[in-house]
A and B are shown apart, each in its own frame.
Chain A
Amino acid sequence: MQKPEPIITIEHVSHSFGDKIVLDDINLVVRKGEFVTILGPSGCGKTTLLRLIAGFQKASEGKFTLGGTDVTETPPHHRPVNTVFQKYALFPHLNVYQNIAFGLNLKKLPSADIKRKVMHVLKMVTMTDYEERDVGSLSGGQQQRVAIARAIVNEPQVLLLDEPLAALDLKMRKDMQMEIRAMHKKLGITFVYVTHDQEEALTLSDTIVVMSEGKIQQIGTPTEIYNEPANAFVADFIGESNIMNGVMIKDSLVEFADHQFECVDKGFGQNEPVDVVLRPEDIYIFELSEAAQFTGTVTSCIFKGVHYEMMVITPEGYEFLIQDYHNFEVGRTVSLLVKPNDIHVMKKERLINTFEGVVIDKTQVRFLGHTFKLDEKISVANGSKVKVAVDFNKIILQDNEEDGMIRGDVRFILYKGDHYHLTVVTKDQEHIFVDTNDVWDDGDRIGITIPPESIQIINQ
């Protein structure tokens, strides 16, 4: 099948507020009629990207085209897109009819046409008979319907939706999701939808764009994103998952949790360290038997409505989250099995922290804005540039910011079955990756200490 033509292309778009980089080299193509969701945690730059498409802000760098024409410099009122805002942004001094007719009035259409179109969209959002109502007297869900009607009545080429359901309660949100999906089918126009709710993204979209820290992490269909996450961030963010450190012994054989498993992934180097993702519903749990690949003890079991959610710890000390329709009580020893198809192996993004450093003298090197002492003398000329490497597990984190050599914020926490992999961001926006057994919370402000013996200098 031939793919429809692109309607939005975004090329090398970067954007920053002051020193803070919000979007970093974004490239994206949206095709005609597609339902694209930009998904990511708050502060990942997704709303900024949408605002750039709408034209409310001008990108620091990069190029946008809409329907084949360059719109990088086009102001918002000349772009063939319409936006549905998170807080509706209905005009409070106008009634429902006047709100919806606002865009049509600007196009100077005959009033009979305007009336016909407004009545048509009101019917579409099931708000007939509300046209004389004051927008302030409507419920949240009704206001959102009016906001959608106000946008689609202009028949834009692209409809932009900025977390349109975030302010609604769960039940209403589910109903509106279905309505938005149906509306997309019926109208046939392109939807670009921004949300932080992964379930909403999986339900609604043709294509999901996962973003984090101003970068696109993965673009794919909901099944691709769920089944073949590109990296640990995506795996952790979309659905629930067990993410483990593993080693690819050879093609189709991977080791993790101190056991070797047959898998379907190929093309990694021999003994290459990898990340392994197991979805909780893909681990089979059953009574002790010959069929077991490995065993574990149930440490918790919670009823979740459709299934039970259990934590199981193996004798080697690895924890797994498992979902099953059957219930195994706490303390029971159980058999576990994973099918080759359900093991997702991902290339590791990094194996060690590397920083740009400058040699101060034989025993000191400066990186991350701090001068660190070294254990061994180095024979590199003062002032020369070097690469500094520090193992993930050699970095010490302290509760008290003042105790550390440098300060940082815990930004992203990944549980790896037997330890946590943290991303710590310093005030200069440098990323430090730390493996630890201690429990930290997202956003904790911490002190960071790197002992002299764990600093390796790589001469350039």
Chain B
Amino acid sequence: MIKRILSRSYLGVLLIMLYAPILIIIIFSFTESKVLGNWTGFSFKLYTSIFKSGVHHSLSNALWNTLIIGLISAFASMILGTMAAIGIYNLRPRARKTVQLLNTIPILNPDIITAISLFLLFISLGFSQGYTTVILAHITFCTPYVVLSVLPRLRRMNENLYEAALDLGATPFYALRKIMLPELKPGMISGFILAFTLSIDDFVVTLFTIGNQGLETLSTYIYADARKGGLTPELRPLSAIIFITVLVLLLFINQRSVKKKR
């Protein structure tokens, strides 16, 4: 009995620790105060001012940059990762093991190493840093995750499916599009979502590849903002929006997988 109460309360404390900061930010996004923790009455003003051009133009700019970079790099790494996974799956066992190992190294590699090496690569190739380099960098570190989420789908798939399609007269490309892709789609979608979230919250790699042409993503903007002294109050409603969006997405995905199982 005591054991059960203890384990329940442990779980409770854990959940409070995890969600309290987010809850506080959401609560204080509905007040105008400059400093977090000062309640100066309920207001939607911060929410409206994010989307108003003018003072906080650079914040909404950073938000759009983040989303665009996230979407493009997630989409590109989904395509690349799926192709790589199909390739890896069809290798001979020994070569497959080697390539799979090579695929996990970038995942385990500290961000800072990836960041510096990409930074040096872009400089030595003479790329001017900006949008392109950030997207290329994000594709680089997102692709291995897509490979990891597509490979299990391939292993679970009947090994003869692709051949069966060819056998019935499909060209290799048609078989890939009509038979392989529908089978791999769940893995590709979860790979896409994973890549997207990784891209949005990346800071280290972005900082090293973003250049100094004034391009900002959310993470670099917040970092710079914090160094200038004090966070912009508009970050509170922004965090609230992002959190709610992610929550809705998560519920949606869970709902879908529950339906599938039935």
Contacts and interface: CB of A to CB of B under 8 A. Distances in A.
A103 B171 CA distance: 11
A87 B168 contact: no
Nearest to A83: B167
Given A89-B161, A91-B161, A75 B166 contact: yes
A87 B160 contact: yes
Nearest to A51: B163
A87 B167 CA distance: 15
A256 to B, nearest CB: 47
Interface in A357-408: none
Q: Is the interface on chain B under 10, 10 to 19, 20 to 34, or 35 or more residues?
A: 10 to 19
Given A85-B164, A87-B160, A77 B183 contact: no
Contacts of B158: 85, 87-90, 92
Interface in B166-197: 166-172, 174, 179, 182-183
A357 B186 CA distance: 59
A91 B166 contact: no
A206 to B, nearest CB: 24
B189 to A, nearest CB: 14
Contacts of A89: 158, 160-161, 163-164
B89 to A, nearest CB: 16
A82 B161 contact: no
Interface string A50-75: 00001110000000000000000001
Given A93-B182, A93-B183, A106 B160 contact: no
A193 B14 CA distance: 62
A77 B164 contact: no
B72 interface: no
Contacts of A81: 167
B168 A103 contact: yes
B165 interface: yes
Contacts of B171: 77
Interface string A91-121: 1110000000011001100000000000000
Contacts of B179: 91
Given A56-B163, A85-B160, A92 B168 contact: no
Nearest to A106: B169
A7 B161 CA distance: 27
A380 B232 CA distance: 96
Contacts of B183: 92-93
A92 B169 CA distance: 18
B169 A103 contact: yes
Main secondary structure of the interface of B (DSSP, over half): helix
A154 interface: yes
- Candidate in B168, B179, B182 with the most chain A CB atoms within 10 angstroms: B168
B221 to A, nearest CB: 43
Contact of B169 (A85, A86, A93, A154): A154
B170 A54 contact: no
Given A76-B163, A91-B161, A102 B182 contact: no
A77 B170 contact: yes
Contact of B166 (A56, A86, A150, A151): A56
Contact of B174 (A55, A56, A90, A106): A106
A50 B203 CA distance: 55
Interface residues of A, number: 25
A77 to B, nearest CB: 5
Nearest to A92: B183
Contacts of A85: 158, 160, 163-164
Contacts of B164: 83, 85, 89-91
A154 B166 CA distance: 13
Contact of B170 (A55, A92, A93, A106): A106
A79 to B, nearest CB: 8
A77 B161 contact: no
B234 to A, nearest CB: 45
Contacts of B170: 77, 102, 106
A328 B173 CA distance: 67
Nearest to B163: A56
- Candidate in B167, B170, B171, B172 with the most chain A CB atoms within 10 angstroms: B167
A54 B165 contact: no
A150 B168 contact: yes
Contact of A106 (B159, B163, B168, B172): B168
A154 B168 contact: yes
Nearest to B182: A93
A55 B183 CA distance: 23
Contact of A102 (B159, B160, B168, B172): B168
A419 to B, nearest CB: 40
Contacts of B169: 77, 103, 106-107, 154
B179 to A, nearest CB: 6
Contacts of A151: 167-168
A80 B8 CA distance: 66
A92 B181 CA distance: 12
B256 to A, nearest CB: 15
A54 B159 CA distance: 15
B160 A76 contact: no
Contacts of B167: 54, 56, 76-77, 81-83, 151
Contacts of A154: 168-169
Contacts of A107: 169
Nearest to B169: A106
A81 B166 CA distance: 11
Contacts of B165: 91, 102
A76 B161 contact: no
A89 B170 CA distance: 15
A390 to B, nearest CB: 36
27 contacts: A54-B163, A54-B167, A55-B166, A56-B163, A75-B166, A76-B163, A77-B166, A77-B167, A77-B168, A77-B169, A77-B170, A77-B171, A77-B172, A82-B168, A83-B167, A85-B158, A86-B160, A87-B158, A87-B159, A87-B160, A89-B160, A89-B161, A89-B164, A91-B165, A92-B158, A107-B169, A151-B168
Q: Which 7 A-B pairs have the closest CB atoms?
A: A103-B168, A89-B160, A89-B164, A76-B166, A85-B160, A93-B182, A106-B169
Interface of A: 54-56, 75-77, 81-83, 85-93, 102-103, 106-107, 150-151, 154
Given A86-B160, A91-B179, A93-B182, 12 more contacts: A54-B163, A56-B163, A75-B172, A83-B163, A85-B164, A88-B158, A89-B158, A92-B158, A102-B165, A103-B168, A151-B167, A154-B168
